[in-house]
Amino acid sequence: MPLGYTGSLTMATTTQSTVRPFTNEPITDYRKPENVAAMRAAIEKVRKELGREYDLVIGGKHIRTDEKIVSVNPAKPSEVVGIHQKAGREHVEPAMQAALAAFEKWQYASVEERTGVLFRTADILRKRKFEYNAWLVLEVGKNYDEAEADTAEAIDFLELYARQALIMDQAEPIVQLPGERDFLRYIALGVGAVISPWNFPNAIALGMTGASLVCGNTVILKPSSDSPTIAAKFFEALEEAGMPAGVVNFCPGSGATFGNGLVEHPKMRYIAFTGSRDVGLEIHTRAAKPQKGQVWIKRTVLEMGGKDTIVIDADANLESAVEGVTAAAFGFQGQKCSACSRAVVHEAIYDQFLDKLKTSVEKLQFGLPEDNAKIGPVINEGAMKSILNYIDIGKQEGRLVTGGSRVEGEGYCIQPTVFADIAPEGRLSQEEIFGPVLAVIKAKDYDDALAIANNTEYGLTGAVYTTSEDKIERAKREFHVGNLYINRKCTGAVVGANPFGGFNMSGTDSKAGGTDYLYLFSQAKSIGQKL
């Protein structure tokens, strides 16, 4: 049977001719009672594993440390999800040596062997999707739909990158010179650090890891301390799929000690990171300084923050715009780098838009993620305090339309909050909040709206609602973001259709989920052989 979205765990090799064309993983419909029941059963099953202790895994060896990382359910912080070992600076060298040793063999593994690991891992996730979703519900507070999108995207990344590796393996130079045989080979870089975030802890972490290993690299994986259990679960899937020991080394740990040690190590070849602007810039700076014994320029693949804008012009379909802004601003509590944190609205419809938006936002349901509530917790207490501080700033800079408080209860829950009359240069308009807070800004006209949309240091996602073809074409030319959407929300990039990555301080425009992503994890070797 050809591999693809219905792959076989028992198939040993893959070739381009045996792989079906890429198709996005179907999304489970949680309006159907049978799917809701399946999720509830998976949550109960997963809950029986809560509190388990997980080891560091370096070169296939399991290691325990004195210091621990305790991961909790942000909706119920008294509930421990997992206990993890905390890698420190003393673990940098063992992890590097294990990855280097594995690289000696893995870099020469056939493309069939490397893609087989990805296809089989995707198959494992697909068959246990409800369980993976349940871990996302309990460890990071996603509702069913958000968890489903995360796991489906992880599967899509694996499926797409495996196919692209097969295509790259068949690359040929444009010209074959007379009397010569010319070759083009994409070869591995070496050992990479994958430093992954908590907000898409399955998709992004597995996407960066899968891209790394399918190109022949080996990885030291440092997942976020807020979501190490999910990383442990997909690491187990990689092992089950036949990944050799040391190809990926599982190392939750401190960014200040273990993370910085990885970035600075002279044998580190590249760093793939998704997270905040400040941390990304620090990684870029540390990686740029050559260390004693270093013989290459370290590569950084950085996906950083955003201050994303939806522009609503006077001729927009107002109901559609309100629906899109509500979903993009408050889906997963606004904890997406692509989230709409600014709505720039033409003055002719400004008041009408605010009235409709207030009604829409106040309909959002609070509750536990395990009950599939629309709005749940933010990730931790520190994030909650930071967001509440921005709400205080908003009360000084603008007019509170709705929300503005913490929700009573054990979890780290904050009301979806909307501020009107925010100045384009205000803090609420310029600084990434990463929470359920939306700034609404009045624009004089379409020219003014586009100018405001481009006035931040970021350039990740954006959207425009208008019925004017001329204005749509102007947005395509002038709205400077890596992912632009017309008459739809600015979140929800789909693998293969919307390669994801931003401009300016939003990162290196890495375009995850696109056909060129693997070039970032490989290097081209041109060979000319005289006949």
Residues acting as catalytic residues: 303, 337
DSSP 413-443: -B--EEEES--TTSHHHHS---SSEEEEEEE
Strands 218-222 and 248-250: parallel
**Which of 409, 336, 413, 326 is CA-nearest to residue 378?**
413
Residue showing tokens 């240091």: 457
**Which of 366, 103, 113, 148 is CA-nearest to residue 249?**
103
- For 144-267, strand residue ranges (E) read 180-188, 191-195, 218-222, 248-250
Q: Could you tell me the strand order of the sheet in which 68-73 lies?
A: 52-54, 76-85, 68-73
d(CA 9, CA 148): 22
Answer yes or no: are the C-beta atoms of 86 and 254 closer than 8 Å: yes
Answer yes or no: are the C-beta atoms of 344 and 450 closer than 8 Å: no
- For 163-321, strand residue ranges (E) read 180-188, 191-195, 218-222, 248-250, 268-274, 299-303, 308-312
How far is CA 322 from each of CA 311, 371, 399, 459, 481, rounded to the nearest angstrom? 11, 25, 19, 22, 21
C-beta neighbour count of 43 within 10 angstroms: 20
d(CA 158, CA 175): 32
